[in-house]
Amino acid sequence: MDVVNVAKQIDARIKKLEELTGKLDAAGDRKANAIADYDLAFAIAMAKIAFGKVNQIEGEQLPDNRPATVLTKYAAGACHKEKCELEIATNLYKSLLTKIETTSATLNAKQSIYRHLSHT
C-alpha cells in the first residue's frame, strides 16, 4: 500500500461516514414516529376491544366473554401493521448505527496505516 492510495481510502470512508450520519436523523425520526403510531393504535385497539366495539380482527371473530388477560394479545394483533413499521424503523436505525461504527473502525485502521506509511 502506498500513502496516496491509503489517503484516498481514508477520504472515501470519511465521505461514507458523512453520508450515513446524514441519514441517521431521518431514521431516528421515522423510528420515533413509528413508536408513537404503534402506541396510539395499541391504546385505541385495547379500548375498542375492552368495550366491545371491535368484535373481530382480520375477519376472525373474537369471543363474547373476553378475558382481560388476552386483551393485550388481541390489541397487538389488531395493530400488526403498526408493529411491522416499528420493527422496520428500528432495524433501519440499528443498521445505520452499525454501519457508522464499522466505517468508523475501518477509518481508524486506515488512519493508523497512513501514519505508519507516512513516517517510514
pLDDT, residue 1, reads: 64
Give the start-to-end residue ranges of the domains of the chain. Answer: 3-118
Average pLDDT value for residue range 71-98: 96
Cα 62 from Cα 49, distance rounded (Å)? 9
Confidence of residue 67 (pLDDT cuts 50, 70, 90): confident
pLDDT at 65: 84
Euclidean distance between CA atoms 66 and 85, whole angstroms = 28
